[in-house]
Structure 1
Amino acid sequence: MPAPFVIDLCGYRDGRPSTSDKNDSLSIELGQAFFDMLGVPQDKPAAQSVDKKWSAAMVEDLGRQLSDVAPHLVVRAERRLEEFEQYAHLKALKSLAEDTAPEVSDALSRLEMELVPRQGAAPGIDLAELAADLRAAMAAADDRRRALIDLLADESPLRLDVAVDRPDTAARNTNSGVLPHLVAGFSLKWSLRTDRLQDPRTQGAKMASMRRGRMPHFATVTMEPRPYMLGRLGRGTGDLDCVYHLALPTLIDAVEAVYVGPARSKQRDMFMRMVEQRRLRDYDDLVAYVGTL
């Protein structure tokens, strides 16, 4: 069965299925057959801001379906990796970029405002001079710290389009308090473009290398119909656990109807091997698997 929210997301843009590449005639042919089998009306316009609408619909549906079989799990949209206990250490660099010694600065302010005026001509240490020296030392240390931070690579923080976590087994992190444990994360790609095809795999590789603890289940969820593009994403080296499709049974029927003849059979056979090897799975499999975590 297709994901229950998929029809609401589908539609046509300039007469073409919203999953199709306008420069690829086979993509349009396959997309048309796919949408016809799904029952998408040809006068239905494509959804605006499909990514946000999709992530909200998927969070709601997963939360509803998991409420009985896995009530301990929480489903959320748009989460940063450092919000979870396996990745809490990623906050460290951001913390370094901020004032690392506010207590010292406050103490110096009190010294300057309260003690220095009362010292008068009393012998001993000149508190005003001491405060000035301390502030100069703090400023020099801050300049050195910021210079080192500027030399480091400035990477965008990794985000998950949809995250599933287990807050009831949250671990205590001395720097971050109690954080939930990430059990699954998903990258949502309505369709696959060549220039963004590697993004999910790169994200999966970073998640694996950066984690401190158990690796969460990580996969891409897509509505892409083309076997070639699905193969380029799904036949990877383990960066993704698998690729989930929002309407795989219907897509199988569409591929078998469109990819006929010697020129297209190779792509059809590759697509079917991905399904048989469970590199490509249906949305129902996603729900069932997450319910076991």
Structure 2
Amino acid sequence: MPAPFVATLCGYRDGKPNTSDGSKIDSIELGHLFFEKIGVSEAQKVGKIDHAWSHAMVADLTEKLTPTAPHLVVGREQAAHAFEQYAHLGALRTLAKDETPDVDNALERLRLHMSTASANNDLSGLVDALSSALDQSKSHRRPLLDALGDESLPKLDISVHRDLDPAPQLGHPHLVAGMSLKWSLRTDRLQDPRTHGAKMAALRRGRMPHFSAVTMEPRPYFLARLGQGTGDLDCVYHLHLPALTAAVDDYYTGLKSRVRIRDTFHRMIDQRRLRDYDDLVSYLKTL
């Protein structure tokens, strides 16, 4: 089943479907046919949909998961280090925070107090020794911090987590799934989800979350380039796979080269590399 909110995000810009590459005839033609299958009128205009999409998806997933998986929490724009498997990525940022101004201020207040109190040479010497030791510590600590690697991950467009501890404030929640949202695909957009997935696999401590891309791209060529990767993504979810399947079957006919494109598209579905939005909901309920 398609995502229930998808039709409200579809529309036309300058007479072209907002899923299409405006410079590619095949993308525009397939986009028109795709929208026809969905039931999107050419009179339906639309602007930017990024924030509307992520908010609608969080609301829909939350509504669908609450009855059977109330332990799951769906969020948007979450940093990876907010979760258990990647909490260590935020450790360097915390360690590098310069706390020495607070110490310097405390020493200055102590010196000021000593200057107004009765003289105490022994105490004054201890303060000077402490100040010197702190200066030496800073001179050694800063180069070491600068030399450390600063690994990081982009924010997750959509995250699904559960709390391992009954008191969540005592620890980090466990990330069970993350999604990269790409309404349409271009050559420069293909690499983002795959790079994100590869870094999540390499930098995790613990179980790898289910990581996938979610898209509305109609062209089988780009879906294949994203989905037939090397394991960086578990799969690609499509927001309206039934309508896209019907459009692809109608559009890619005749020439053998076009039939091969259609066959590749169906092979991706058969291999579960390309899945329906409803499959995402069903799978999340098992986590």
Counterpart position of 1:23: 23
User: What letter is aligned with 2:11?
Assistant: G
Partners of 1:171 and 1:202 in 2: CA distance: 34
Q: After alignment, is 124-133 or 207-216 more displaced?
A: 124-133
Alpha carbons of structure 1 residues 133 and 116: separation in structure 2 relative to 1, 3 Å = farther
Aligned partner of residue 272 in structure 2, secondary structure = coil
TM-score, normalising length: structure 2: 0.91
Q: Which consecutive residues of structure 2, in runs of 5 or more, have no partner in the other structure?
A: none
1:235 equivalent to 2:231? Answer no
Contact kept in structure 2, 1:116 and 1:127, CA below 8 Å: no
1:70-85 matches, within 5 Å, as 70-85=69-84
* Offset at residue 101 of structure 1 (A): 5.8
CA contact (8 A) 2:252 2:258 kept: yes
- 8 Å contact from structure 2 (residues 216, 239) kept in 1: yes
**1:6-155 matches, cutoff 5 A:** 6-48=6-48, 50-99=49-98, 104-105=103-104, 108-115=107-114, 117-118=116-117, 120=119, 122=121, 126-127=125-126, 129-145=128-144, 147-148=146-147, 152=149
Letter of the structure 2 residue corresponding to residue 220 of structure 1: A
213, 221, 236: which one aligns with 2:214: 221
* Alignment partners' CA distance in 2, 1:229 and 1:283: 18
TM, length-normalised to structure 1: 0.89
Aligned Cα RMSD in Å? 2.4
Q: Give the total of aligned pairs.
A: 286
Distance 2:95 2:144 in 1: 8
SS of residue in 1 equivalent to 2:234: coil
Shift of the 172–140 alpha-carbon distance from structure 1 to 2, 3 Å rule, reads farther
**Selected match of 1:198 from 191, 194, 205:** 191
State the alpha-carbon separation in 1 of the partners of residues 122 and 74 from structure 2: 66
Q: Which among 147, 156, 161 is matched to residue 157 of structure 2?
A: 161
Q: CA deviation at 1:57?
A: 0.1
Q: Structure 1 CA distance, aligned partners of 2:206 and 2:213?
A: 22
Identity %: 53
Higher alpha-carbon deviation: 133-142 or 6-15: 133-142
- How much does 1:116 deviate? 5.9
Q: 1:282: Cα distance to partner?
A: 0.2
Which shifted more, 97-106 or 256-265? Answer: 97-106
- Structure 1 Cα separation of the partners of residues 238 and 141 of structure 2: 50
Shift of residue 29, structure 1, vs aligned partner: 0.8
Where 1:22 maps in the other structure, the secondary structure is coil
Distance 1:148 1:116 in 2: 40
Deviation string for 1:214-261 (max 9, x for gaps)?
111000000000000000000011110000000001100000000001
Q: Residue by residue, what CA displacement relative to the aligned partner does 1:132-184 show, whole Å, maximum 9, x if unpaired?
A: 423432442354245425xx46x6642110000002x24999xx941111011
Give the superposition deviation at 1:129.
3.2
